[in-house]
Chain A
């Protein structure tokens, strides 16, 4: 059985635990480096990326997180988690710099510009269900540019990139954990299963 860590420094980490438990997956809270031991995958939740970054730096999580990524442990970041994974966020704040993406924070504006929309995500065919995904965007970031190793998974109607994958690293600007739809969590678990088989 796989064990998924959820970074629990701040944000909606409980919602991710609940989704994973619905899928009968064992979950662990990750707040200190020692909590990373034995995890097969890690989710970085939504929240405030500046808060998550500051705490990860103060409590020595930056290097251990980069090490597990380099060792091939899949990591998925939602919203603030996507910002935290990015190589470039256009301003000085701590990020892991693992994904070759340039991210713009609060890209759609302020809270009154937060929205819900249905997205076409063809990659969900890999778990056998490519129907549109109802996505929740809250003060969301977007991906301005993606490197050659990055696969774009979803775009808004105007072409804006809102989900991407780079091998075992996954990023979404929206929050599947705020819906009842477990497909994105299943998609991530599929990446985890393939990685553990290697």
Chain B
């Protein structure tokens, strides 16, 4: 046996970003109880998001949407062996502290809930638990990373079953990363100012040719084809919110979306897994939503 004291370092950037790296090529599913969590795990989800209501129901319900009841989150944590994520409101430091104390594996500081602070997001560096945050473009993504986010997801338009906004955000982020590859350093300073992002992170993103953290798609993904489309656009994996448990056959659809994310480059497999899935969730045309109904506009 080895002797001597070995120093263990917890909550480091490497272990926080590292968990997101382990989720790549996978599907993270919204669940509202232990039974749904087990269906998701069985179907091959890499993690679940523990919620009281899925975004489609948050939309329908109205009012203030808050962090879920800890009892609900604990029930889901006990039901599965895969990582469990939970959402706190934007800027709600204490909800995040409570989620960390519960032992959730990842916190989503989410625009799907009603924002608690209209100026500032949470300073995520001081937490041991990693955070994921939504973004619509490169500037927003890098601002969240500057605040300590260990993972970024597109915002999309949650609870609509309409992938168009997730595509818009993925294209905005990936397009900007491609554009900065061709910029000189003097252009980068001006560009960083223009998009409101720290220059060092713009520089790092250019050097890496990708975000410094894992980037998932989220918001409106409802079918295996939607999931494969997001992978083709360069996302590292997908979140599926209302799309699974608001559909006719959740297990079958969940499994099909998992397979579509792994085999997005194989159209024959996509065709096979897309067959006979039953009714998808009911979709909403994003253009019919008023500004106040648009969740993606929350966050700064």
Contact = CB atoms under 8 A, between A and B. Distances in A.
B246 interface: no
B54 to A, nearest CB: 21
Contacts of B43: 54
Contact of A116 (B15, B46, B103, B263): B15
A15 B21 contact: yes
Contacts of A48: 22-23, 26, 46-47, 82-83
B276 interface: no
Contacts of A54: 42-44, 258
Interface in B1-49: 1-12, 14-15, 18-19, 21-26, 41-47
Contacts of A114: 10-11, 15, 18-19
B7 to A, nearest CB: 6
A8 B25 contact: yes
B224 to A, nearest CB: 14
A115 B8 contact: yes
A8 B236 CA distance: 13
A46 B214 CA distance: 15
Nearest to B12: A116
Main secondary structure of the interface of B (DSSP, over half): loop
A31 B263 contact: yes
A55 B262 contact: yes
Interface stretch (A62-70, A151-159, A164-172, A187-195): A151-159
Nearest to B128: A112
B81 interface: yes
B253 to A, nearest CB: 15
B105 A139 contact: yes
Interface of A: 8-15, 31, 46-48, 50-51, 54-55, 58, 79-80, 91, 105-106, 109-120, 136-139, 155-157, 159, 175, 178
Given A10-B25, A10-B261, A115-B15, 16 more contacts: A8-B262, A9-B25, A9-B262, A13-B25, A47-B24, A48-B26, A54-B258, A110-B103, A110-B104, A110-B105, A111-B105, A111-B106, A115-B12, A116-B9, A138-B19, A138-B22
